[in-house]
Structure 1
Amino acid sequence: MARTVDQQIAETQAKLARLKTRQKASETRRKIIVGAIVTTEALNDPKIARWMASTLRKNATREVDQKELVGLLAELDQVAAKADQT
C-alpha cells in the first residue's frame, strides 16, 4: 500500500527531528572537548588562566553557573597568582 502524503510528511519530520538531535549531541561533545582542552591549558599557563577566569566571570551570569565555577575560578586564580610571584 502506498504511503499517503501525510505519512510521508510525518516520516520526513521524524527524520529531521532525529538529525537535529544528532546535531545537538555533536555540538555538545565538541563543547566538552574544547572546554577540557582549554581548561587543561589554562591550569598550566598563567596568561590563559587570567583570560579564562576573566571571561568566565564576565559571561557566567546565572547564579547556578557561578556556583558551579567557584572551584575552577579559585584554581585559575592560583595559577595566575603564582606567575605574579615570580
Structure 2
Amino acid sequence: MATKYHARIYVTLRSSVLDPAGTAVESGLKQMGYTEVESVRIGKYIEMQLTANNEDEAKQHLDEMCDRLLANTVIENYCFELSELATV
C-alpha cells in the first residue's frame, strides 16, 4: 500500500562557489547596523508531498528529482528531510 510523505529539500551553493546574492545581503545587513553578521549564503527551500510504496523508494525518487531538476549538482549541494504524513 502506498504511503504519503512530506519532503523538505534544502539546496545550497557549494562552499567553493561565490555567492554574490549572499554577499549583497551581508553588506546590506551590516549597513543596517547588524555588525555581528559574519557570513551569508543564499539557497533554496522546497516542500513537496509525494506518494511511494515505502520510505526507501521515496528517498530514491527525491534523490533523482534533486539530481535531475531541483539542484545543479555541479555548483549546488542538497539534502532533504522526509516524514510520513498521518493518514485519516
Instruction: Tell me which interval the TM-score lies in, with the shorter structure as reference length.
Output: under 0.3
- TM-score under structure 1 length normalisation: 0.26
Tell me which protein shows more strand as a share of its residues. Answer: 2
- TM-score under structure 2 length normalisation: 0.26
Q: Relative contact order (alpha carbons < 8 A, sep ≥ 6): 1 or 2 greater?
A: 2
Structure having the higher Rg: 1
Tell me which protein shows more helix as a share of its residues. Answer: 1
